Amino acid sequence: MPVYVDPHRDRPGFFWDIVRLSRPLAEVRYRQGRLLGRMEGLPLPLREEACLGVLTLELVRSAELEGEMLPSGQVRAALAGRLGWDCAAHVPAGIDAVGAAGMLSDVLQRHDQPLTEKRLTEWYMSITPVKQKRLHHLVHYQGPEAQTAPGLLRSFLKWFNTAADIDPVIKAGVASWWFMTLHPFDRSNGRIARAIADVLLARADNSGYRFYTLSDMLWKENEAYIHWMAVARKTPAREAKPDITAFLEWFLHCLARALSASEDLHSAVMRKARFWEKHASVVFNERQRLILERLLAGVEPRLTSSYWARMTVTSSDTAVRDINDLVDKGVLKKDAAGGRSTRYVLVEA
């Protein structure tokens, strides 16, 4: 039997079939539990490193879905600063990256706090470039009930903060859909809708850490995502009580794929753990640790002495000495592919 939602008691005016959703929901919940169990078994520094990589990609992809570009290095640095993590993020962060990091850190660190119009407005202001900030930040939805748009937003917030009888994963999909039907801001509604979903996914994980990124999967399925968001925006004017089961099935499908993709992340983190464990007794200078961290993170799979000198702000002679030292210690080797300049790669653990 479908679950009908009463539109007259601070609830959305649409329904979904929980029976159809039960199997994909169970799959998502199983994958969430398995992933959290594996990641919680890692040492804290590696767990933070894994989370930082995911959150960086989450913010970059969420911005790209809105046609905005955020430098990943700046985002990573801003997130590390916000979360108080020392993860080799030594890059000056611009104001847009700092604002985006502020919103996401608030989402995760205060996921158990109520969602309010003030909080939504703070998110909006944090991700809006300075030159585009406007005095009147809220724009009424120009639909058939435009005059009651503020009341509709209050209804949404009341439902969000009080409806405890819905699985938070399903609620994340419903909330993102409902918010897009309201479309209360003049821009960035998609990014805020995804942040709202992230609040509920954090509640589902019961954790301030995140080890998978939904926005990356939505970016990969951009055509379908654009379709569903367009349908959501047109829904109030087209149909009084639509069935959003198909959308929620697609939403759960994206979540399952995002969780599956996290397997690659887990492998990368374990590769890094094996590397440092293998070389625990080896003495590295600060420059060597910086470059090794970048190699292990996949930032630069191969390196040259000129790249080393540029990244560490040292002379070519110092770069060559550092590299040769790592070759002698069995940490680096010459890349068999060759090329105009000698390239080096990590010796796998």
Say which CATH number the domain at 338 has. 1.10.10.10
pLDDT at 136: 43
Q: Is the pTM of this model over 0.75?
A: yes
**Residues 261-287 pLDDT 10s:** 887 767 777 788 788 888 889 999 999
Is 267 in the same domain as 312? no
Same domain for 36 and 179, yes or no, is yes
Higher pLDDT, 163 or 162: 162
Residue 51, C-beta contacts closer than 8 angstroms, at least 6 positions apart: 209, 210, 211
pLDDT, residue 6, reads 40
What Rg value do the Cα atoms of the chain yield, rounded? 23
Three-state secondary-structure class, residue 94: coil
Per-residue confidence (pLDDT) for residue 144, from 0 to 100: 30
Q: 58-95: per-residue pLDDT in tens?
A: 999 999 999 898 888 889 889 988 888 866 555 666 88
Q: Please determine, for residue 171, whether its predicted confidence score (pLDDT) is greater than 60.
A: yes
Residue 117 shares a structural domain with residue 55: yes
Lowest mean pLDDT among 15-29, 32-46, 201-215: 32-46
Between helix 305-312 and helix 286-296 the angle, nearest 10°, is 110
User: Which of the two residues, 5 and 334, has the higher pLDDT score?
Assistant: 334
Q: Which of 207, 236, 271 is where one domain is finished? A: 271
Kindly state the greatest CA–CA separation across the chain.
74
Domain count, the chain: 2
Nearest residue to 80 (alpha-carbon basis) of 324, 344, 321, 293: 293
Do 194 and 324 share a domain, yes or no?
Answer: no
Cα–Cα distances (Å) from 264 to 35, 142, 245, 270, in that order, read 12, 44, 30, 10
Same domain, 43 and 163: yes
Domain annotation covers residue 3 = no
- Residue 294's pLDDT is 81
Given 238, 271, 304, which residue is the final one in a domain? 271
Same domain, 265 and 301: no
Q: Are residues 191 and 249 in the same domain?
A: yes
Is there a domain that residue 220 lies in? yes
Domain range enclosing 264: 18-271
Residue 177 lies in a domain: yes
- CB distance 194 to 172 below 8 Å: no
Residues 263 and 294 in one domain: no
Classify residue 205: in a domain, yes or no: yes
Span 136-154, average pLDDT: 52
Q: How far is CA 208 from the centre of its chain?
A: 12
| Residue 139, pLDDT above cutoff 50 | no
Query: In this structure, is residue 247 part of a structural domain?
Result: yes
Same domain assignment for residues 173 and 291: no
Q: Are residues 122 and 37 in the same domain?
A: yes
Do 145 and 255 lie in one domain? The reply is yes
Q: What is the pLDDT of residue 85?
A: 81
Domain presence at residue 9: no
Residue 219 shares a structural domain with residue 302: no
- Do 195 and 103 form a contact (C-beta atoms < 8 A)? yes
Residue 1 lies in a domain: no
Q: Is residue 293 part of a domain?
A: yes
- State what percent of residues in the chain have pLDDT above 90: 48
Per-residue confidence (pLDDT) for residue 240, from 0 to 100: 58
Q: What is the pLDDT confidence band of residue 324, given thresholds at 50, 70 and 90?
A: very high
Which of the listed residues 223, 244, 271 is the one where a domain comes to its end? 271
- The enclosing domain of 111 has a CATH number of 1.10.3290.10
